[in-house]
Structure 1
Amino acid sequence: MNYKISVLFRAVPVLMGAVSAALGGYVLAHASGPSARVAGLVLIFLAAICACLFATAAAIIRQLIDRYTALDRLLYPVFAVAVGCIPTGYGLALLSGSPRPPPDFVAGHVLFGVGMVCVCVSCVATVSTRFLLIGENSALAEGAPPRSPAPFDPLTARALTALPVLAALATWVWAFVLLAGGGGGAAAGRFTAAHVMIGLALVCTCLIGLVASILRQIQNTYTPRERLLWPGSAAALGTVGIVWALIVISVHTRPAQLAAAYVLIGLGLICWSILSKVLLLALVWRRKAPLANRVPLIPVGTALLCLFLSAFLFESADPAVLVAARVLVGLGCICFSLFSIVSILESGTS
């Protein structure tokens, strides 16, 4: 990989995180109303996901340009974990506050879900510290035995697989508790928080497949069944989120439902952006895939869809969707950050 291009790919998630955080700060400083507080806080902390994606990008690129050190192997995973603790802690602090205003109720739940996504991305950054082994293993014949000694010991491998599973499970359970009427707060707040957390749980579930794909290719235990399983799961999860959102839009009875549904569409598009990474790994594993270099177009398309949808919502006369219009800008930034990651993967596996 060209060094200047490597700098550009590392800069993309940093710049996208800065755009999201800057817009969030602007909304908090200059907009009024409870929806502005929710949108501002969410936009600021969506930048944490971009920061974790930067750690992943940097860990892979430093290997590709032959500048990887023992410090890098430790630094980037630790950085991603530390960043992920910030939205989780802040979200729980908002939920434990007394009194707890309705905007803080919604924002607290969403920030907790964002923190769970960061946990999953930090696992991606950790498994990516042995990324170069994917190319070596892919060159081996089908049916070659697992690498010995294993790049990750059995306990570490199980932990890296279990952490995103636990993060997704915690988000799913909390979301359905809210849908069932638990968790306190007003009904409208529970509905909004639950549906956004469902979208974040879908993203966490997609990231399970990404962690598993990278880990098993590094360990040389990737199977033909997984070549279909993980891309198919990511595509299905993104579709579930978008279809669910469209159903909510078609039967909504309260304005707050519209905002939650449009954000859920954006999170479904993030699932499809993650699909591009899982699909690329599946396509190039021990086979030639002439169209693999087209896969990075998927997150570009999802980023544009998020931004177009945001623009249309800004033009809407319904103030209820303004919070969704703002948050979709941050979700578009994450999609474009994923374009950087999948481009790096394409370069590293080609």
Structure 2
Amino acid sequence: MDYRISVLFRAIPVLMAGVSAALGGYVLAHSSGPSARVAGLVLLSLAAICLCLFATAATIIRQLIGRYTTTDRWLYPVFGFAVSGATMGYGLSLLAQNPRPPPDFVAGHVVFGVSMICVCVSCVATSSTRFLLITENSALPEGSPPRSPAPFSAPAAGALSALPVLAALTTWVWAFILLAGGGGGAPAGRFTSGHVMVGLALVCTCLIGLVASILRQIQNTYAPRERVLWPVAAAVLGAVGVILGLVVVAAHSRSSQLSAGFVLIGLGLVCWSILSKVLLLALVWRRTAPLANRVPLIPVGTALLCLFLMAFLFESDDSAVIVGARVLTGLGGICFSLFSIVSILESGTSGDQDESDTAS
């Protein structure tokens, strides 16, 4: 990989984090009302996902350009988990306020759900600390034994596999409690928080497949059935988010429900952006995939769809609907950050970097 391109791919998630955080800060500083506070806090939290994606991008790229050090091996995963912890703590602090302003009920739940995604993305970064082994293992014949000694110890591999499952399960349970009316707060707040938490849980569930794909390809335990299982699961989860969002939009009786529906659609598009990474890993594993270099177009398309939806919603004069438009801006930034990660994966697994090194 060319060094200048590597800098660009690392800069994209940071720039998207800056856009999301800047918009969130601007909304909090210059807009008034409960809807503005919800949108501003959620946008600030979405920037945390982009920062965790930066940790993943830097982890892989530093290996591809031959500058990966022991410090890097610890620095980027720790950075990702630190961002996750800070986001989680802030979400819980919003929920723990007494008295708690109504906007903070919705914002606190969403920020906590975002922190669960950050945990999953940080597991992706940690799993990628042995990324170069994917190319080596892919060159081995089908049925070759697992790597020995194992790249990750049994406890480490178990923890990396279990953390995304635990994060997804926590988010699902929390979402169902909210939708069942057990989360407290106004009915509209429970509806909005519950449905957005469902979308966040879908994203966490998608990331289980991504962590499993990277981890098992690194350990050379990736089974043929997983080539189909994880991409299909991500595609279905994204479709569930989009379809559920469309149902909420079609059946809404309050503007806050309309906003929640569009955010659900955006989170479904994020799932499809994650699908591109899972699909790419499946396509290039021990086979030639001529169309693999087209896979990065998927997150580009989802990012554009988020931005088109955002522009559509900004035409509304309802402050609750504007919340959805603002949040879709941050989700579009996440999709574009995922374009950077997919492009890095494509470069790292296609062997293009070896060809460029030879040519130079």
Give the equivalent residue in structure 2 for 1:244.
Answer: 244
Write the letter of the residue equivalent to 1:96: A
The amino acid across from 2:282 in the alignment is A
**Structure 1 residue 318: deviation in Å?**
3.7
* 1:212-268 deviation digits (Å, cap 9, x = unpaired): 000000000001100000000000000000101111111112221101110000000
**What is the DSSP-based 3-state SS (H/G/I as helix, E as strand, rest coil) of the residue aligned with 2:225?**
helix
Displacement after TM superposition at 1:171 (Å): 0.3
CA displacement, residues 327-348 of structure 1 (integer Å, 9 cap, x when unaligned): 0000000000000000000000
Q: Distance in 2 between matches of 1:249 and 1:289?
A: 39
Residue aligning to 2:9: 9
In 1: Cα distance, 2:69 partner to 2:99 partner: 48
Equivalenced residue count is 350
Runs of 4+ that moved beyond 2 A: 316-320
CA distance in 2, matches of 1:23, 1:160: 33
How much has 1:46 moved relative to structure 2? 0.6
| Secondary structure in 2 matching 1:242 | helix
**Within the alignment, does 1:55 sit opposite 2:59 as a pair?**
no
SS in 1 for 2:143: coil
Equivalent residue, structure 2, for 1:213: 213
Match of 1:284 in 2: 284
Letter of the aligned partner of 1:256 in structure 2?
S
Q: Which amino acid aligns with 1:299?
A: P
State how 1:222-301 maps to structure 2 within 5 Å: 222-301=222-301
3-state SS of 2:178 partner: helix
Q: Is the 8 A contact 2:119 2:164 kept in 1?
A: yes
1:268-305, CA deviations, whole angstroms, 9 ceiling, x for partnerless residues? Answer: 00000000000000000000000000000000000000
Aligned mates of 1:248, 1:16 — CA distance in 2: 28
Distance 2:317 2:48 in 1: 31
Question: 2:358: which partner in 1?
Answer: none
| 2-structure distance, mates of 1:171, 1:56 | 22
Alignment partner of 1:40 is 2:40: yes
Distance 1:232 1:34 in 2: 39
Shift of 1:320: 2.7
Please name the residue that 1:186 is paired with. Answer: 186
TM-score, normalised by the number of residues in structure 2 = 0.97
* Separation (CA, whole Å) in 2 of partners of 1:87 and 1:143: 42
* Aligned-residue offset at 1:87: 1.4
Matched residue SS, 1:224 = coil
Q: Normalising by structure 1, what TM-score?
A: 0.99
2:161 aligned with 1:161, yes or no?
yes
* Contact 2:35/2:319 (<8 A) preserved: no
Unaligned runs of 5+ in 1: none
The structural deviation recorded for 1:103 is 0.3
Q: Which residue of 2 aligns with 1:175?
A: 175
Secondary structure, aligned partner of 1:183: coil
CA distance in 1, matches of 2:319, 2:123: 38
The corresponding residue for 1:151 is 151
| Residue equivalent to 2:357 | none
- Residue 165 of structure 1, CA deviation: 0.2
Q: Which amino acid aligns with 1:261?
A: G
Structure 2 residue 71 is matched with structure 1 residue 71: yes
Matching of residues 318-333 of structure 1 within 5 Å: 318-333=318-333
- The answer on 1:96 being equivalent to 2:81 is no
Aligned equivalents of 1:213 and 1:137: distance in 2?
13
Partner Cα separation in structure 2 for residue 158 and residue 58 of structure 1: 24
Deviation at 1:316, TM superposition (A): 2.4
Letter of the 1:225 counterpart: R
Instruction: Point out the more displaced range, 309-318 or 135-144.
Output: 309-318
Corresponding residue for residue 142 of structure 1: 142
Describe the SS at the equivalent of 1:98. Answer: coil
Tell me the equivalent position of 1:25.
25
Give the superposed CA RMSD. Answer: 0.6
Matches within 5 A, 1:109-120: 109-120=109-120
1:86, distance to aligned residue in structure 2 (A): 1.4
